[in-house]
């Protein structure tokens, strides 16, 4: 898959919602966006990024998991000019969705993290660990073997996403190829 080509064709957050979301979808995404907050430490961390990263999000405006996570990605991107997040609709970009399958399924959202020159650095999605913990507690009940009490979900999911962005930023920052390019 040529992720750089997909990224170049992808849309910004608001354009994606305008093109692929109904008024109701847009309202739901906005409600989550309005609720997402980053801590001062998270904002400071993201503002300190020095390497440009491209993040391709394969999503569906109709998808509940996308509603609950994509606004977090937008809030993260707002904190650093080094982060560019763009979105493609999974049904319109079926080849991208196929290339990003997880557990033999077309799960969304799926994020493909890319370097500034569009080399793949990592993938993440469809749900964060905090979300799966909550689902396990809800669906598997007290017999669930994790033994973990689910945290305040939105803040936990946000923290996990910030962690993924930090992981990729550190990968890019420590990259021999990019350190040579920037003489740092």
Going by pLDDT thresholds of 50, 70 and 90, the confidence category of residue 137 is: confident
Give the span between the Cα atoms of 45 and 127, in whole angstroms: 23
Superfamily of domain 3-182: Glutaredoxin (3.40.30.10)
Kindly report, residue by residue over 90-117, the tens digit of the pLDDT: 999 999 999 999 899 888 999 999 999 9
Contact by Cβ (8 Å): 46, 82: no
The pLDDT value recorded for residue 133 is 83
In the chain, what are the domain boundaries? 3-182
Which residues are paired to 111 by β-bridges? 57, 124
- To the nearest whole number, what is the mean pLDDT of the chain? 93
Kindly report, residue by residue over 114-134, the tens digit of the pLDDT: 999 999 999 998 888 888 888
What is this structure's pTM? 0.92
The pLDDT value recorded for residue 135 is 85
Kindly report, residue by residue over 39-58, the tens digit of the pLDDT: 999 999 999 999 999 999 99
Contact by Cβ (8 Å): 82, 44: no
């Amino acid at each position: 898959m040529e992720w750089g080509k997909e990224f170049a064709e992808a849309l910004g957050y608001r354009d994606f919602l305008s093109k692929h979301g109904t008024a109701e979808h847009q309202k739901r995404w906005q409600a989550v966006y309005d609720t997402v907050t980053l801590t001062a430490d998270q904002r400071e961390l993201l503002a300190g990024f020095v390497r440009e990263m491209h993040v391709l999000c394969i999503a569906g405006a109709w998808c509940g998991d996308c509603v609950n996570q994509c606004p977090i990605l937008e809030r993260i991107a707002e904190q650093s000019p080094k982060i560019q997040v763009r979105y493609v609709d999974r049904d319109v970009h079926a080849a991208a969705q196929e290339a990003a399958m997880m557990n033999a399924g077309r799960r969304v959202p799926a994020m493909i993290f890319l370097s500034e020159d569009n080399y793949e650095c990592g993938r993440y999605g469809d749900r964060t660990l905090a979300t799966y913990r909550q689902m396990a507690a809800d669906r598997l009940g007290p017999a669930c073997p994790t033994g973990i009490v689910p945290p305040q979900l939105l803040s936990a999911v946000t923290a996990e996403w910030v962690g993924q962005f930090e992981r990729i930023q550190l990968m890019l920052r420590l990259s021999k190829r990019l350190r040579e390019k920037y003489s740092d």
